[in-house]
Chains A and B, each alone.
Chain A
Amino acid sequence: MPFEDKYSELSGTESVKSLTKDQEFLLYTIDYLTKWMVSNEHVSSNIGNRVWIKELPLWAIIYYQITHGSYETFDYAPTSIQFFGRSSFTINLSYEAVDDIEDLRESDILEKIRLSTSQHGFVTAYRITEIGNAYLKNIPQDVINEVSKLFFCECCQKQLHFYMNMGDNPSVLLDCPDCDVSDVYLDFLKSEDVSYKSKPYFLKICDLLKR
Chain B
Amino acid sequence: MSDKNNSLAGNIKDKLAEIIHIKDPKIFVIEWLPFDSNQLRELNKKLDIEKGSNKTLLTGLIDGQPNVPIFQSKGAYTKVIVKDYELDSFVNLQAIIDLPEEEEIVQVEEMAIFISRDGFITYSLELKEIENLNTYMSIDKITRVVADLCQDSSVVIDSLLTEFQRNFIEIIFGNPIHRPKTICYVGDDIKTRHEDINDYYDGEDFEIELNQILGEGHESFQMGRNLFFKGSRGTCAIVDNFDKDTEYQIIFWGIQHAINNFVDNFMSRIWELYDQTKHVKIIVDEAVAGNTDALNRVQEEITVITSTISLVGQIKEFLKDSCQDLLDVYSKNHINTLNGFYEVENSLKSSQKRILESEKIISGLLTELDGLRNYVATLSDLQMRKMSKVMTKNTKSMNEVLQANTRTSEAIDMIELILAGSIILEIFAFAVGEISSDQTFFGAIISGDGFGTARIVTLVLFLISVFSWITIVILLRRSKRKMEIEALQDFFVTMSVNKKIDITKMEEYISKRTVQTKNVENDMENIILSYVWGGEDDPNLLGKNIEKVSISYNETNSLLLTLEIETSELDINQDKLLGYVLDDLKAKEVFIK
Contact = CB atoms under 8 A, between A and B. Distances in A.
Interface string A48-88: 00000000000000000011000001111111101001111
Q: Choose among A204, A206, A209, A211 the residue with the greatest number of B CB atoms under 10 Å from its CB.
A: A209
Q: Choose among B175, B203, B209 the residue with the greatest number of A CB atoms under 10 Å from its CB.
A: B175
Interface of A: 22, 66-67, 73-80, 82, 85-90, 95-96, 98-99, 118-121, 168, 187, 191-206, 208-211
A206 B252 CA distance: 11
B79 to A, nearest CB: 12
6 contacts: A95-B212, A98-B216, A120-B272, A194-B10, A211-B86, A211-B90
Interface stretch (B42-50, B103-111, B310-318): B103-111
Given A75-B140, A198-B109, A192 B83 contact: no
A48 B51 CA distance: 72
A92 to B, nearest CB: 9
B90 A209 contact: yes
B248 interface: yes
Closest 4 CB pairs of A and B: A78-B147, A73-B1, A200-B112, A191-B147
A197 B141 CA distance: 13
A198 B112 contact: no
Interface residues of B, number: 85
B357 interface: no
Given A196-B145, A201-B126, A209-B118, 18 more contacts: A78-B146, A79-B212, A87-B178, A90-B150, A96-B1, A99-B204, A99-B208, A99-B211, A191-B147, A191-B151, A195-B106, A196-B129, A198-B125, A200-B110, A200-B125, A206-B114, A209-B120, A210-B89
A128 B28 CA distance: 41
A115 to B, nearest CB: 15
Contact of A196 (B16, B116, B130, B275): B130
B15 interface: yes
A199 B126 contact: yes
B174 A196 contact: no
A209 B117 CA distance: 9
B480 interface: no
Contacts of A168: 175
Interface in B1-34: 1-3, 9-17, 26, 28
Given A87-B175, A203-B247, A195 B94 contact: no
A11 to B, nearest CB: 26
B124 A203 contact: yes
B10 A200 contact: no
A73 B131 contact: no
B14 A195 contact: no
A201 B10 CA distance: 25
Contact of A193 (B107, B175, B211): B107
Contacts of A211: 86, 89-90, 117
A88 B150 CA distance: 11
B364 interface: no
Interface in B290-320: none
B175 to A, nearest CB: 4
Nearest to A90: B147
